[in-house]
Structure 1
Amino acid sequence: MPWELAAAGGLFVAIASFFRGLTGFGFAIVATPLLALVLPPALAVPIVLALQIPAGIQTAASDWPDTDLRAASLACLGGLPAILPGLWLVSALPAETMRLVVGVVVILSTVLLSFGFRLGRGPRTHELLGSGAMSGFLMGAVAMAGPPVIVLLLASDWAARRCRATLSLVFFMLGCATFALGLANGVVTLQSLILAALYAPGLFAGQSLGGTLFSRIDGRRYRAVSLATVAATGFFVVIRGLAGH
């Protein structure tokens, strides 16, 4: 690979990991399209899958005191079994149609939160299981697990640190499951693992910078940045869906 493309890939990984360090989510949805600009998508996706493992370990360790382990476990309990149905559906329906539906739902959810919708309480068991199931389904269908759990936690009365730490653990666990499926199906290759190792320094640098910035913002700004990230995700998915039609 030319060194210019390798350097660009490292920069893109650092940018995506910055958002993950700041919000607790967003790495895959930012890194995948950026890496696809300089790498074949068939190589970009497994690199992102591989990098989610060290990214999650770093944040899970540093954010452990603020993590709601019960909430994260319930979300993953709902999410892990739903990955396979998502994979099945994407093979049965056009991917562009799925992206359009998901993108519109994400945008509408963001608008609802932006206008002040709040639960005024912590998330309940059935809400965590349900949002986790939807997240796992979306991970399998369109490789985008975030919005359901993100919307639920941002609407709660939780502090920013608790939201960010719990989201980090949820997406780390779902990422591990997806990575394992990728290995089993031959999607993750030796070449992708080598490139992921080369990009790891940018991953850690970007995530550390994002975490540093997070420690300097208040809960209101955290929610604003997180909502903007979710909205951008929705618009990106809609654009991809429209481009494919």
Structure 2
Amino acid sequence: MGTLAITSLAAAAGVVAQRLSGMGLSLMCVPFLALTLGPLDAVRLTLLLGFPVYLAVAITHRRSIRWAQVVWLTVPAVVCTPVVALLVRNAPERPLLLAAGGCCVLAVGVLASGVTSRRLAGRTGAIGAGVLSAAMNSVAGLSGPAVAVYGASAGWGADETRGTLSIYFFLLGVVALPSLGWVEVPVSVLLAVAGSALAGDLLGRALSRRVGDRSVRWSVLVLSAAGGVLTLGHAAF
């Protein structure tokens, strides 16, 4: 399968997942994009793709956003991001591929376990989740798992999760993309990803009332795990 086909399918699937569950864009996109574009451009392109998607979801669920938690998550993440991004930009590709694949598989395992703790629900938990999220975002584009665990521990509902995480991802991307540098891929790839993302958004809206959260969650986790394993295999061999 060619580069355009893989990037297009990954973008469409990631946007559908984000529309349905409030996360999943980076889990779906980064491991597959890393196979064709390299780990750094995979993260950059996913961040770029995320801006309109996250903003649209946040606007849709704006009444459910927990703004206090957004602040406690975002401030430490914004402080941490440029430091980690500087290290990532100077790192060789193979370790980044291994890190991206490993982080993806680890994130899937954490989310699949459903681990939560009331101890993680306070301000200290939010700060820790923001720092870990920013680090994983710069290395592997996976800002979601750490803050998703925090949200689950804090008892967020589905709409609160969609709205709060989306505006957090958007704000983090505003800092992360300039820190990591502009996407260095052909214009044809950018156009293909943009078209696929639009199609994914329309499909996600159509499916949002027909597909249960549990089905979406497990589909995202299974596909993400497969992408992480493929990325690890590609880096190893």
TM-score, length of structure 1 as denominator length: 0.74
TM-score, length of structure 2 as denominator length: 0.76
Which stretch has the larger CA shift, 153-162 or 221-230?
A: 221-230
Separation in 2 of the partners of 1:226 and 1:61? 22
Give the letter aligned to residue 200 of structure 2: G
Separation in 1 of the partners of 2:190 and 2:138? 21
> Is 2:8–2:196's contact at 8 Å kept on the other side of the alignment?
yes
Match of residue 188 from structure 1: 183
1:236 aligns with 2:230: no
Task: Describe the shift of the 1:157–1:231 C-alpha distance in structure 2 as closer, same or farther (beyond 3 A).
Answer: farther
Task: Describe the shift of the 1:206–1:124 C-alpha distance in structure 2 as closer, same or farther (beyond 3 A).
Answer: same
Per-residue deviation at 1:54?
Answer: 1.7
Separation in 1 of the partners of 2:33 and 2:46? 9
Which stretch has the larger CA shift, 63-72 or 224-233?
A: 224-233
Separation in 1 of the partners of 2:101 and 2:189? 31
Number of aligned residues: 231
Which among 213, 220, 225 is matched to residue 222 of structure 1? 213
Q: SS of the counterpart of 1:79?
A: helix
Larger radius of gyration: 1
Q: Which runs of 5+ in 1 are unaligned?
A: none
1:126 aligns with 2:124: yes
Match of residue 95 from structure 1: 96
Match of residue 53 from structure 2: 55
Match of residue 139 from structure 1: 137
Which among 17, 24, 27 is matched to residue 26 of structure 1? 24
Separation in 2 of the partners of 1:16 and 1:188? 18
Give the letter aligned to residue 52 of structure 2: P
Separation in 1 of the partners of 2:154 and 2:6? 38
Separation in 2 of the partners of 1:58 and 1:104? 28
Task: Describe the shift of the 1:83–1:19 C-alpha distance in structure 2 as closer, same or farther (beyond 3 A).
Answer: same
Please report the RMSD computed on the Cα atoms of aligned residues, expressed in angstroms. 3.5
Which among 176, 194, 212 is matched to residue 200 of structure 1? 194
Which stretch has the larger CA shift, 18-27 or 227-236?
A: 227-236
Q: Which runs of 5+ in 2 are unaligned?
A: none
Separation in 1 of the partners of 2:230 and 2:153? 26
Work out the percentage of aligned pairs sharing the same amino acid. Answer: 22
Runs of 4+ aligned residues of structure 1 deviating over 6 Å after TM superposition are none
Match of residue 73 from structure 1: 71
Per-residue deviation at 1:161?
Answer: 0.9
Per-residue deviation at 1:50?
Answer: 2.2
Task: Describe the shift of the 1:97–1:17 C-alpha distance in structure 2 as closer, same or farther (beyond 3 A).
Answer: closer
Per-residue deviation at 1:181?
Answer: 2.3
1:167 aligns with 2:161: no
> Is 2:43–2:141's contact at 8 Å kept on the other side of the alignment?
no
> Is 1:76–1:174's contact at 8 Å kept on the other side of the alignment?
yes
Which stretch has the larger CA shift, 233-242 or 159-168?
A: 233-242
> Is 1:21–1:208's contact at 8 Å kept on the other side of the alignment?
no
Per-residue deviation at 1:130?
Answer: 0.8
Per-residue deviation at 1:19?
Answer: 0.9
Separation in 1 of the partners of 2:41 and 2:112? 34
Match of residue 13 from structure 2: 15
Which among 169, 175, 178 is matched to residue 176 of structure 2? 178
> Is 1:107–1:235's contact at 8 Å kept on the other side of the alignment?
no
